[in-house]
Amino acid sequence: MMFRIMTADEAVQLIDDNAWLGLNPFLSLSIPHALHDAIMRRYLQTGHPNHLNIYSPCGFGVWDEHRAADQYAAKGAVQRVVTSHYASIPAIARMTQQNEIEAYCLPLGVMSHSIRDAAAGYPGHLSHVGLDLFVDPRRDGPGLNERSRDEWVQLVELRGEEYLYYKTPEIDVALIKGTSVDPMGNISFSDECVICDALALAQATKARGGTVIVQVDRVSHTFERPRSVIIPGILVDVVVVDYVKPDEHIKAMDGSIHVPGSQMDYWMAHLARTSTGKAKQPSTAHSVIGQHAAQLLRKGDVVNIGIGIPEMVGQAASSSGILRDIVLTVESGGLGGLPAPGQLFGATIGADCIVSMAEQFDFYDGGGLSICFMGALEMDSEGNVNAHQLPDKVVGIGGFANITSAAKTVVFCLTTTAKGLEIAQDEQGTLRIVQEGQLPKFKKKIGAISFSAKQALARGQRVLYVTERCVFELTEAGLRLAEVYPGIDRDRDVLPHLEFPLAYPATWQAEQI
For 457-498, what is each residue's pLDDT tens digit?
Answer: 999 999 999 999 999 999 998 899 999 999 999 999 999 999
Identify how many contiguous H helices and E strands the chain contains and give both numbers.
12, 34
pLDDT the model gives residue 269: 61
Tens of pLDDT along 124-143?
999 999 999 999 999 999 99
Q: Which amino acid is at 51?
A: H
Tell me what the pLDDT averaged over the chain comes to. Answer: 91
pLDDT the model gives residue 277: 46
Active-site residue, selected from the candidate residues 331, 378, 468, 483: 331
Own/partner contacts of 140-144, CB < 8 Å, gap of 24 or more, are: 140/448, 142/104, 142/105, 142/106, 143/102, 143/103, 143/104, 144/96, 144/103, 144/104, 144/105, 144/389, 144/394
Q: How confident is the model at residue 267 (pLDDT cuts 50, 70, 90)?
A: low
SS (H, E, C) 441-506: CECCCCCCCCECHHHHHHHCCEEEEECCCEEEEEECCEEEEEEECCCCCHHHHHHHHECCCCCCCC
Is the pLDDT confidence value at 197 over 50?
yes
CA-to-CA distance for 275 and 342, rounded, in angstroms?
A: 7
Tens of pLDDT along 212-259?
999 999 999 888 889 899 999 999 999 999 976 655 555 555 555 556
| Mean pLDDT value across residues 347-368 | 93
> What number of CA atoms fall less than 13 Å from residue 264's CA on the CB side?
26
pLDDT the model gives residue 274: 55
Secondary element (H or E) of residue 156: strand 153-158
Q: Is 331 a catalytic residue?
A: yes
pLDDT the model gives residue 183: 93
Is the pLDDT confidence value at 28 over 60?
yes
Q: Which residue has the higher pLDDT, 388 or 267?
A: 388
Residue positions counted in the chain = 513
Q: Which residue has the higher pLDDT, 260 or 75?
A: 75
Alpha-carbon distance values, 207 to 153, 190, 204 (Å): 22, 26, 5
CA-to-CA distance for 362 and 329, rounded, in angstroms?
A: 13
Tens of pLDDT along 421-435?
999 999 888 999 999
Percent of the chain scored above 90 by pLDDT? Answer: 78
Peptide bond into 49 cis (omega under 30): yes
Is the pLDDT confidence value at 280 over 90?
no
Q: Which amino acid is at 413?
A: C
Closest residue by Cα to residue 46 from 19, 75, 4:
75
CA-to-CA distance for 106 and 37, rounded, in angstroms?
A: 27
Q: Which residue has the higher pLDDT, 260 or 169?
A: 169
| Mean pLDDT value across residues 343-369 | 92
| Mean pLDDT value across residues 345-357 | 88
Tens of pLDDT along 287-329?
999 999 999 999 999 999 998 899 889 888 878 888 889 999 9
DSSP string, 282-317: PPHHHHHHHHHHHTT--TT-EEEE-SSTTHHHHHHH
